[in-house]
Amino acid sequence: MKEKIHSFENWIFDWSGTLVDDLAMVLDATNHVLRHYGKEQITRDEFRLRFRLPYVGFYEEILPNIPLDELEDHFRVGFANSAASGVISPLLPHAMDFLQFLQSRNRRMFILSSMDAQAFEGHAEELAVAQYFESSYAGVLDKREQIHQLLETHQLDASKTVFLGDMTHDVDTARHGGVASIALLTGYQNEQQLLSSEPDWIANDLSVVRSVLESSTPSL
């Protein structure tokens, strides 16, 4: 995989846990939803253990029989009013440098995320990263159903495309689309969970990916 990384012209990014550290904000928003319906809040550890994508299944488990659009409305309110919002920049270390590095090499960049579209758009503008992406697909319930459209719409060669994410669903999505996958240990799932989905490569963070890109003789 590392030997192929120089050939990737198209870079598709997940958002949460891949470029931004918004777990605290997402947890606040989730607990806001739970409180609204009179349910007990969950801890950070419990959330990381139980949360999964597509998130429809997660909400069916904790709040069954409630329309998804209704849940999403309450999630947006909780996200916008999170106590973690504005405390520090939630961009993950090396994220901005990595985007700038890819831009300097004329790589095409895209977002494919399950994050609520309105929340994503506001957050991306606030963090001054929206301009790096040719197109963004947010609020996607099942990324596996979207990746083919993304590839077709933008005429991307799958053999020259890589998807970076922090969850097993991201790895599954990459495989479903016939593109390479890089799983990052900066987000919602741990190494053991990610290994179960058999990504093409697991990297600690984006600085590791950049170091391989900068290397003149990448090695395994």
Percent over 70 (pLDDT), the chain: 95
110's enclosing H/E stretch is strand 108-112
Compute the distance between CA of residue 151 and CA of residue 205 in angstroms, rounded to an integer: 25
Compute the distance between CA of residue 45 and CA of residue 62 in angstroms, rounded to an integer: 15
User: For domain 23-80, which CATH number applies: 1.10.10, 2.60.40, 2.60.120, 1.10.150?
Assistant: 1.10.150
CATH 3.40.50.1000 occupies which residues in the chain?
Answer: 5-21+90-214
User: For domain 5-21+90-214, which CATH number applies: 3.20.20.150, 3.40.50.1000, 1.10.340.30, 3.40.50.1260?
Assistant: 3.40.50.1000
Question: For the segment 8-30, what is each residue's pLDDT rounded down to a tens digit?
Answer: 999 999 999 999 998 888 899 99
- pTM to 2 decimal places: 0.85
pLDDT along the chain (220 residues), means of 10: 87 96 90 96 89 88 93 91 70 95 97 90 90 96 94 98 96 97 93 94 96 68
Question: For the segment 138-156, what is each residue's pLDDT rounded down to a tens digit?
Answer: 999 899 999 999 999 999 9
